[in-house]
Amino acid sequence: MMVEVSPEPVPHIAAGLFAIFLMVLILPFKVRKVEENLEAFFLVMGIIAVTVSGFWSVELVEEALRDPVSIGGLPIGIFQVVLVAGIVIYKFNRQIYSGIIGAMNKLGLRAFVFLMILLLSLVSSIISVIVTAVILSEIIAAMPVDRDKKIKITVITCFAVGLGAALTPVGEPLSTIAVSKLKGEPYHADFFFLFDLLAEYIIPGIVVLSALGAVYAGKASSRAEIPEYAESLRLVILRAIRVYMFVAALVLLGRGLTPLVIWYFTKIPPYILYWVNMISAVLDNATLAAAEIAPQLSIMQIKSALIGLLISGGMLIPGNIPNIVAAGRLRITSKEWAHIGVPLGLILMAIYFAVLMLEGLAHV
């Protein structure tokens, strides 16, 4: 049985959890050993957070062990997808990379990148963000561009995929939770609820991000050749294990820091909460959605909360599943991701904030 959160803040617990949150936010950028062992660091921080909050239970341990290998009760999770896809690509990398490079040579690099980001972002809401993350990682790995461009394209694509996956409840955990919490009165949320609510904001954003990715890709200097596949089977298996550890760690960290969310963040006015939700850059945004989204909220409040969470998730590696998978496959460090993700995220947050404010004023 899960432990309930005290209705009133407990000062020493709040102080301890806030200190943990600051360490999670700062240490990956300041301590090289932490940056190189991000999964283990988050796991330790998650264990400490749950201990400080006093939330240990058999159910929580089972959830942390189960979530990386199960989605919605089905025995298919991010661990199996990453492992099986990695083994398939290890065995058939020549044929897979040949198809990617062939399409790239026919379309041109910029057009290829634009269509890749656009299509993957839109289908992620159907095939799930996990499968999409594995596909985008291998496509970008095969691209004939330098490392700096690969990082930029990866971060931009993960922002777009994170947005697109939220259009249906099967795309990602945040959308599943949002629909589940709003399925009763007064919204009666169904499969298309989030699409109807957010598509007019998300799809233009995906198009803009697709164009931005194409601009960063530039032009290929010559006809692309099939790259050499450098992954060993050991690395493929190790990456799947690291992803498992990361997801389990985020379950513990999200649960451990839940008191902070309930005591402080849920009492913040919607337009301030929009910005405060940037903490989903380091926390599981599904945990925040579970705490914040409720049928008592207005449509505008729901929009603000969800859009803030979705954009913030792209800023740092722990913020979303595609970030974790892509950073692991392409060996992108926390600093490298943040160098692109934080400025881009802040710009997107500001643009969407202005749009939501104008819409809110129009309905006054």
pLDDT at 363: 58
The CA distance from 188 to 186, in Å, is 6
The CA distance from 238 to 235, in Å, is 5
Please say whether the beta carbons of 338 and 29 come within 8 A: yes
pLDDT at 187: 92
SS3 category, 283 = coil
Of 319, 313, 309, 179, nearest to 247 (Cα)? Answer: 319
pLDDT at 231: 81
The CA distance from 350 to 211, in Å, is 19
pLDDT at 279: 85
pLDDT-flagged residues of the chain (< 50): 364
pLDDT at 36: 86
What would you report as the CA-atom Rg of the chain, rounded to the nearest whole angstrom? 20
pLDDT at 327: 94
Establish whether the linkage from the previous residue to 169 is cis, with ω within 30° of 0: no
The CA distance from 331 to 302, in Å, is 35
The CA distance from 154 to 288, in Å, is 25
pLDDT at 2: 57
Q: What are phi and psi of 227, to 5 degrees?
A: -75, 160
pLDDT at 72: 61
